[in-house]
Chains A and B, each alone.
Chain A
């Protein structure tokens, strides 16, 4: 350990200060908040960014939650008014909401599992020294650099177009046959899941590669002295050591997949019918196409709360997982 306080120590101090009855940030004296010079200077420093954050992040958020309690339909301007939890109750009977929620869960779950497994596989494969490793790494990382909208359009027009698309051509070569990948309700959701997985597996790959490179060498050296198979080494040494990285990947990718929008929007627009309509897309349509801002806000708030709950939940899991280290 070097002489600097560890990040954990700093965090502990902040937590201690924030605790009621802990070291006070500002002392209450004579009924007024009084800051000492250093604290005042600190506040001055963070003030502008704090204000900006409130303005661009907290305020719209509050507005969103507020709007979700009102009936605001631009097509029925005379009907505007406070409805309390009415919009949320309406959701319970809205088949399209439940459908889109189901699509979101399926989409998120599948793509996160695929990304994690594939990312890990690539990282393990490219962990060993070999010719062309750097080139391969670059190739694996490329999709992540693209904008999701571009990915959606490229997949729709260049890769999956029946008869002309590259992937459709390959499908014909291997005997699967030409299909309307994004137009057939049975295939469209699978196609957008593959699309998302293709774009974001590089992220998992990146995290796993870095973690693998930083693993302690001792357990592996010890294993060399024992008659262990490669599978046993992976199962009992590598994977347990990678556990924190796996949790990180799953958490981050889940949150991002829940927020997915652009690629699907560009590739299928949620169709055919509503086959690929994730909750985010449905909320967008309700608010900006149907101009039902109140209900749209309620849908978006639901997604937001679900994502937030997920984040908190994962935080707990992660704390537990990382403990034994």
Chain B
């Protein structure tokens, strides 16, 4: 009797989730094209008609949406845009080689903000204020730069100038199973210690349900996308006043000990090789109580066709660390302008970037269906859109999802989350190895960070 009741309840939950999902599809009526949205900009969109630009992007769904609506840009401006689509790591290598050799193959690409200090140091890209302040090319009032998420703009600013335009982004948040929390009477954690305690209480490997997972795979964009938040939340500082690295401070060691101990105790075996897709899949398969990762994973784990736990998910900001602050990741896809281009191509590229980052295009692309089962964008670049009731309805996975993301974006950020210096690629690599070595027990957290700190000193002195 009890079993039937429970099964019925589950079915009802699933139906409810499906209904909510369909409702959201219905809400996709929001975000249609407004033909005169661009005409109100007081610039001549056709001033560079006939130019052609070539752009390097990753295969992510939001770039597919951008690419799909780009013919509208060509109709508006007469500028032809072609794309090369390759996965992020290869994309970055190609972009750096193109910039370094000054071949000017790619007018722009979807850059990692952590690389902008490197680009700027080499003068590989143009500062965007050159174009923003040109009345012929930009209607500042229409474009409304200030509306673009301030944190992302700050992440893309080096020496006071903006080097890449945020067109899409994300934050990391705490994502958990509401049903499991309710069953066990747990409250969403306010601090990292409460998170550990919740993981301990919900961890039941015998039932194939694990307490917590975080990225374990080594890499500047893998484990070094998560551990820096812990490092800062524990009060860690990357450098002292003289600019010497201090990752092996007591706060640093404690943050790594926390990371290592929770993953060893509560994560599934093999987590040291897990990046976000593995975490998301495990959660969608119902084998994980919670994780902390990008808010964008919501569009998959809330899709009943791809996830067993759709409709049972809760979202919260990062728990606070011992230093009393929550620290989320800073990530956006930044579009720079290649300095090796001829002047007219640079201007044409700017028109495209301006169009892509503008409010109407961001709205139009948010719900664009490049395929019948396409997901909604959860990383639009403008505060005003995040506040727009239409958009909030579209991404209402839970009533507070949009607020959790927006608040994280506005309050839980820390400009020194990761060191924004040209040497970041190498530093990120050294730290990624140290964090993974501690995780798999090759070194103690203290030993790993001592070694990494010495290595960082060597890199910076060289």
Contacts and interface: CB of A to CB of B under 8 A. Distances in A.
Interface of A: 73-77, 156, 161-163, 178-180, 182-185, 268-275, 285, 288-292
A70 to B, nearest CB: 14
Nearest to B432: A271
Contacts of B423: 75-76
Interface string B145-189: 000000000000000000000000000000000000000000000
A272 B437 contact: yes
Contacts, number: 89
Contact of B122 (A74, A162, A183, A275): A74
A269 B219 contact: yes
Contacts of A77: 121-122
B420 to A, nearest CB: 13
A270 B436 CA distance: 11
Nearest to B273: A183
B304 to A, nearest CB: 23
28 contacts: A74-B96, A74-B122, A75-B118, A75-B423, A75-B425, A76-B422, A76-B423, A161-B270, A163-B269, A163-B270, A180-B270, A180-B273, A182-B270, A183-B216, A183-B270, A183-B271, A183-B272, A183-B440, A185-B441, A269-B219, A271-B273, A272-B437, A273-B442, A273-B443, A274-B433, A274-B437, A285-B429, A290-B429
Given A163-B269, A180-B272, A183-B270, A273 B462 contact: no
Contact of A273 (B218, B273, B422): B218
Interface in B125-162: none
A163 B209 CA distance: 13
A273 B440 contact: yes
Given A180-B272, A183-B271, A272-B218, 5 more contacts: A179-B269, A271-B436, A290-B425, A291-B96, A291-B425
B272 A272 contact: yes
A180 B433 contact: no
B217 interface: yes
Contacts of A271: 217-218, 272-273, 433, 436
B269 A273 contact: no
A292 B422 CA distance: 12
Contact of A185 (B100, B219, B440): B440
B266 to A, nearest CB: 15
B52 to A, nearest CB: 28
Interface string B408-432: 0000000000000011011001000
B442 A75 contact: no
A161 B269 CA distance: 9
Contacts of A272: 218, 272-273, 436-437, 439-440, 442
A285 B219 CA distance: 11
Given A162-B270, A182-B273, A291 B426 contact: yes
**Taking each of B118, B217, B219, B270, which has the highest tally of chain A beta carbons within 10 Å of its own beta carbon?**
B270
B425 A269 contact: no
A73 B96 CA distance: 12
B231 to A, nearest CB: 18
Nearest to A290: B426
Interface string B268-281: 11111100000000
A288 B425 CA distance: 9
Contacts of B36: none
B93 interface: yes
Contacts of A76: 422-423, 462
A291 B92 CA distance: 11
Contacts of A183: 216, 269-273, 440
**Taking each of A185, A269, A289, which has the highest tally of chain B beta carbons within 10 Å of its own beta carbon?**
A289
A272 B440 CA distance: 7
A290 B458 CA distance: 14
A272 B437 CA distance: 6
Contact of B273 (A75, A156, A289, A291): A156
A182 B268 CA distance: 14
A269 B218 contact: yes
Nearest to A284: B93
**Taking each of A73, A182, A268, A272, which has the highest tally of chain B beta carbons within 10 Å of its own beta carbon?**
A272
A288 B93 CA distance: 7
A193 B270 CA distance: 19
Contacts of A269: 217-219
A73 B443 CA distance: 30
A74 B95 CA distance: 13
Nearest to A188: B440
Nearest to B440: A272
Contacts of B121: 75, 77
Nearest to B434: A273
A289 B429 contact: yes
A268 to B, nearest CB: 7
Given A74-B96, A75-B425, A289-B425, A275 B273 contact: no
B144 to A, nearest CB: 35
Contacts of A73: 462
B118 A291 contact: yes
Contacts of A180: 269-270, 272-273
B32 to A, nearest CB: 40
B110 to A, nearest CB: 18
Contact of A184 (B96, B429, B437, B440): B440
A182 B184 CA distance: 34
A76 B423 CA distance: 8
A289 B221 CA distance: 12
Interface in B244-283: 268-273
B442 A185 contact: yes
Contacts of A182: 270, 273
Contact of B268 (A162, A285, A289, A292): A162
A273 B273 CA distance: 11
Contacts of A270: 218
A292 B273 CA distance: 26
A185 B436 CA distance: 10
A258 to B, nearest CB: 23
Nearest to A74: B100
A273 B425 contact: no
Contacts of A292: 426
Contacts of A273: 218, 433, 436-437, 440, 442-443
A185 B443 CA distance: 11
A154 to B, nearest CB: 14
B399 to A, nearest CB: 35
Q: Rank and list the top 10 A-B pairs by shortest CB-CB distance, nearest first.
A: A273-B437, A162-B269, A290-B426, A183-B272, A272-B440, A162-B270, A180-B270, A75-B422, A185-B442, A271-B218
A179 B272 CA distance: 12
A205 to B, nearest CB: 31
Contacts of B100: 74, 291
Contacts of B270: 161-163, 180, 182-183
